[in-house]
Structure 1
């Protein structure tokens, strides 16, 4: 396989310190340079290594996207076969990780189980500087760790992977024990392609910070999983389902949405920190959800249209549109995934981007160390303990 491509420049110290004050969240601050992906929020466009996400979502499988993110170009047939062979070879769970997974209570959140499994695997499998081989090994195992835990918590034994199945199909097989339908594989593949990377989001930034300290790839990915778990980042897709169940019917939707917005309740699946129009990933997932469940789509789409109109009416100028979470919930439910597996499945995709960013960071590294504006007191008089 080809040699990974790295970003050819690291942001200068002058640039990183030029904006010393910020309203919070580092919004608008450029913290790194990258050649991996570009998010254009004003026009709703997402680019992977120069390719528009709409073209990739409709025509590629996840393994092609992984190759693109890691090596800088889409694979030819032989390169794709080589990567698929490597994935198949890496589809094993070491004994220490299986022991760890078996020890977890059935009530453990799958994101916590995934984080724990990656940490346990890294403790015995990772040494030295992050490499492309380590990235392959990690990405190949994410579905195995999740599926093994899910089966164990249901009182079932984990299954052996089928080397003839692709990444998405093998994941579904390991969860269910049945060869998935072509329709389900296509839907999950599209989801994995769409979520593989997304600029300098919170979890990717976290992974790059850890990598910048010259820590190992497992530590970087464990930290990224922790960031993705948060409901303000990746932890909300299943809550879209909860919201839709609470709304109940399209006839009740208008009143429900108006009351929710008027009382400050968050509409799950609407609004994005970057996109000021419809998330391009949501556009692709919308079509996949329509094909997967035509009857359910009428309700889901109806709620979406009402919500966008009401948000514009009650919050004019806020530009709150559908984000990736809204149709992620519908699509993942249609392929048979339980709600608490939605965010971990996000991680099954995003580990490709995380690892690509880790490799890019270390190839031209500078410790990421921003400043903070201190707002506390400075002239307090010290008193010994017995005088306080």
Structure 2
């Protein structure tokens, strides 16, 4: 069955994924020039173009107001929703937002995951959700709504770097889903909800949590080589290594590793945890090159995503929701781009069933 790998399904100005060179370009800027340097709001200005103001300050203020609006839905976070997984509860709250194709609808969709995920995490822990603050930047407010205290500068920078890094990445499964739904003119809410459903699948957005399970099982740097070697001997996949597109190292891994190292230097994470992760990465890459020399299996975005989000206080079952809080900017941008073409996405299929009598 065809996986559509070589099919060009859209022309886009939003992002280019160069799997051979290991390069990600977003709106004409390499990831190296964006991650850790520009805020999420500034990258939204690049992605959304004419849909929003091109002023980072204006987007920050408008997105803050959208977070306040999204928080009104948190009152619907009842016991039944809290009993669900974070991703399923997020999907249920997102489904309550109004649909539309205008600026306010777009900003509300972008703001909502940053509000809903911390609220759901706190509710599941028996804590009261914390309302957003209109005077904060997006990443800063998300960290504050999770922990309840004013976040440190490196915590904010780490989350901002993460949101920017995952904001867009070509025509992946969830983004393509968003474009298909947007092409029907169903509205931004419908497109984002469908994309979130695609992201929920373990083959797309569910791998960062198992990276931490692997680190926990390894335990110490000295145990990294024997544990990983035994896992490979059993035919197991090493979580956080290899990517469908990249034939070399995932550039997003380097962006997040840098953010993690800065966070560690500022005292924002356990240094022994970082040392363990670096030992596991080093030994895993050496073993993979030795045992699978014909397969390019380099560090991917999930490896350092897991460590960064753990250091910021997000539980493992919230990782997919935090990913959605970053990728939603790309989903909306692709939906907008698809709407502008006015074309319904309607591919053909090849019938391989039995012939009619």
Normalised by the size of structure 2, how large is the TM-score? 0.93
Query: In the TM superposition, what is the alpha-carbon distance from 1:67 to its structure 2 partner?
Result: 0.9
SS at match of 1:39: strand
* Residue deviations 1:230-283 (CA, integer Å, cap 9, x gap): 111111111100011111122222122122222221111111010011100101
The aligned counterpart of 2:188 is: 217
Within the alignment, does 1:66 sit opposite 2:66 as a pair? no
Query: In the TM superposition, what is the alpha-carbon distance from 1:96 to its structure 2 partner?
Result: 7.8
Within the alignment, does 1:119 sit opposite 2:95 as a pair? yes
The answer to whether the 8 A contact 1:106-1:154 is kept is no
- After superposition, the CA RMSD in angstroms is 2.0
Aligned equivalent of 1:237, options 196, 208, 213: 208
- Counterparts of 1:79-118 in structure 2 under 5 Å? 79-93=55-69, 97-118=73-94
Distance 1:319 1:137, change over 3 A: same
The aligned counterpart of 2:350 is: 373
Query: In the TM superposition, what is the alpha-carbon distance from 1:210 to its structure 2 partner?
Result: 0.8
Query: In the TM superposition, what is the alpha-carbon distance from 1:31 to its structure 2 partner?
Result: 0.7
* Distance in 1 of aligned mates of 2:222 and 2:48: 47
Number of aligned residue pairs: give it.
351
The aligned counterpart of 1:262 is: 233
Any unmatched runs of 5+ in structure 2? 265-270
Aligned equivalent of 1:318, options 273, 288, 295: 295
Query: In the TM superposition, what is the alpha-carbon distance from 1:379 to its structure 2 partner?
Result: 4.4
* Residue deviations 1:150-200 (CA, integer Å, cap 9, x gap): 222222222221111110111111112111111110111110110000000
* Distance in 1 of aligned mates of 2:342 and 2:301: 31
* Distance in 2 of aligned mates of 1:255 and 1:167: 42
* Distance in 1 of aligned mates of 2:197 and 2:51: 30
The aligned counterpart of 1:302 is: 279
Normalised by the size of structure 1, how large is the TM-score? 0.86
Distance 1:43 1:75, change over 3 A: farther
* Distance in 1 of aligned mates of 2:70 and 2:107: 16
Distance 1:97 1:58, change over 3 A: closer
